[in-house]
Structure 1
């Protein structure tokens, strides 16, 4: 039986990954609404319909737009994929008349506890779970990190996805210069840097119980180490799973999440860094490993039982990681089996237009940014 699924926040950069994985389930018909009129996935052969609604800051207007779109296409499930939509629907889910169509979502209190990095740190402390030494920095508490061991990391307590606003400081002098140069009007969290390596756990949960998961270890980092990884290797570790399982149970989590951790090589322990309360950029990697998180999310939301899937311990490179690897090892050009089985190339070849447009838009934005900077420099030089 076909399942009609509406993604109400198609403006998210995660949309293409969700579409590429969810569409692997042939019985799913995908509908997308977005507050951006022209996005690459609009031209995907994998979606049934695309609808544009102007951006609004009124949450109730947006919810009504979702309701109208749901009724227009006789939608079975509404699947938000990014923080704003998940938070809004979670906040109002008991008042929404179409709440029976909502995919599994966390309780709003639990959502905010996990999404706010300082609230999460307090939760981890109370529940005796390992995490980096942390402090809340503000103008009113400038000495919060007085006894910290350097290096330290400073970041926003909300929405630092993709490494935005995350900075590493090797000593107190560097940090003090940064704090003086940036007159923060909002609180920041400061954490001691964990000497070790990045590792993450992606989960789908229902009332704290993990229905599906994958664990992936970093194999290739970005030029900015706080930006999304370029390569991962899927692994399994009992200690890490038990830590994540305890965390999800303590949050009574429902829906998806991606937990960022670091393995502390000095103390031989995993430490929770943060919880991404949404889908994640390596969804295609999870799919290649054998776990289709968006589809399983739909099944769980429809109360359809399934066994917790086992995943394959494979290596994965995203497109940027693949290009960097090819530049280092020209022989990789000829390794068609790896390219098709361990990278997102397979998804792009079956539906090429969204990927082509994505990188065209990306190149255009870079060009326009450089052009604006040149014009700005020229204007300044003429003054």
Structure 2
């Protein structure tokens, strides 16, 4: 096995066996409450996370009839205190220790009659994974993988090593850049990208055309920083959104960028949903190898030279364009994940092809000052998230008045 993975696994929970894969736990593990009838209302405790992700998930939940949402927060300034999508707001001090937060969630579940706990971001999902045994005594949990697999998928370096080990198509990757880098670069194809392992949204990625420039840049990095190096892939980006239950695909959608941003590595401003069998085949290989459980958004790229689909990274949380999946593609991932968690039957239809652009991007794209081109994509309001933009006005007014980002 790759030395990077070996070193990681020495200091992590054991990888799951048949006896401790989520959903096949031993009898000694406390069982969650029994599933309620499929016709019963679905009550969800949302564990608040990063502002925009929370808003996207709340909007998706609001689109499903007979879903009642209660919000758990550790932010006393949360704008979602005023959300029209939230039936009750439960606040705990951010300084409270983990065991107090667990008890707080258990008590909130009993007070609200909540059926499912739904974290939205990486921090929330890590918390639920770490405390799943205690939390599962009070309510059902969002499907989540074992801790070791979650950390492999979240960490770009560990994921790169894992994909090399399992022969998953991916960019050529140097995980350990601190030792013998010059020798490793001798057979590496340039140009390359230097990527922060903890980066998101393309932030911090720098392209280098020569080994000399790259070696000089690496030498200047702080000792505590964590980076990987990957070769550039000529082609196009294509992403896949998934919901898995114990390694089995439940629902997916596939999206391509339509409107590029000024930053080469930033997310696109608009997307279209497309069918692509080769994308799904690669994604399914990887997620089965990870014994995935729950939602994820995978960034992939078509390699024009090798004519392969290659996995770039995994966002192990809900994603901003989850709204687009619900509106344009007809796949409401937060609702489906809650239904799976609650043990209710889920029969999602195949996703639709279509376009999606966030309303703010649409307004800027259509009315902002820019040079018009003949190949501009034409959008209508039906392609936008105008409902999400206007549907919860008090949260946005509060954010504006408090000058939050």
Distance 1:155 1:96 in 2: 36
Match of 2:110 among 71, 78, 89: 71
Residue 290 (structure 1) aligned with residue 290 (structure 2): no
Distance 1:242 1:162 in 2: 25
Residue 29 (structure 1) aligned with residue 68 (structure 2): yes
Name the structure 1 match of 2:80: 41
Distance 1:19 1:214, change over 3 A: same
Name the structure 2 match of 1:376: none
Distance 1:108 1:304, change over 3 A: same
Residue 220 (structure 1) aligned with residue 246 (structure 2): no
Residue 322 (structure 1) aligned with residue 362 (structure 2): yes
Structure 1 residue runs of 5 or longer lacking an equivalent are 367-383
Q: How does 1:22-171 map to 2 (within 5 A)?
A: 22-56=61-95, 58-96=97-135, 98=137, 100-143=139-182, 144-157=184-197, 159-171=198-210
Contact 1:261 1:273 (8 Å CA) reproduced: yes
- C-alpha displacement at 1:196, in angstroms? 1.1
- C-alpha displacement at 1:97, in angstroms? 5.1
Residue 182 (structure 1) aligned with residue 221 (structure 2): yes
Distance 1:58 1:162, change over 3 A: farther
- C-alpha displacement at 1:227, in angstroms? 2.6
Name the structure 1 match of 2:394: 353
Name the structure 2 match of 1:196: 235
Distance 2:99 2:190 in 1: 46
Name the structure 2 match of 1:231: 270
Distance 1:343 1:252 in 2: 35
Bigger drift between 112-121 and 253-262 goes to 112-121
- C-alpha displacement at 1:27, in angstroms? 0.7
The count of aligned residue pairs is 359
- C-alpha displacement at 1:115, in angstroms? 1.1
Distance 1:307 1:62 in 2: 34
Distance 1:197 1:359 in 2: 36
Name the structure 1 match of 2:347: 307
Distance 1:324 1:221 in 2: 13
Name the structure 1 match of 2:12: none
Distance 1:320 1:223, change over 3 A: farther
Distance 1:141 1:309 in 2: 51
Distance 1:79 1:224 in 2: 32
- C-alpha displacement at 1:21, in angstroms? 0.7
Contact 1:56 1:62 (8 Å CA) reproduced: no
Contact 1:220 1:321 (8 Å CA) reproduced: no
- C-alpha displacement at 1:166, in angstroms? 2.5
- C-alpha displacement at 1:218, in angstroms? 1.0
- C-alpha displacement at 1:186, in angstroms? 3.3
Let me know the Cα RMSD of the aligned residues: 2.5
Structure 2 residue runs of 5 or longer lacking an equivalent are 1-39
Task: Show CA shifts across 1:313-371 (max 9, x none).
Answer: 111112343133213589xxxx9x9543211112222322334444565xx357xxxxx
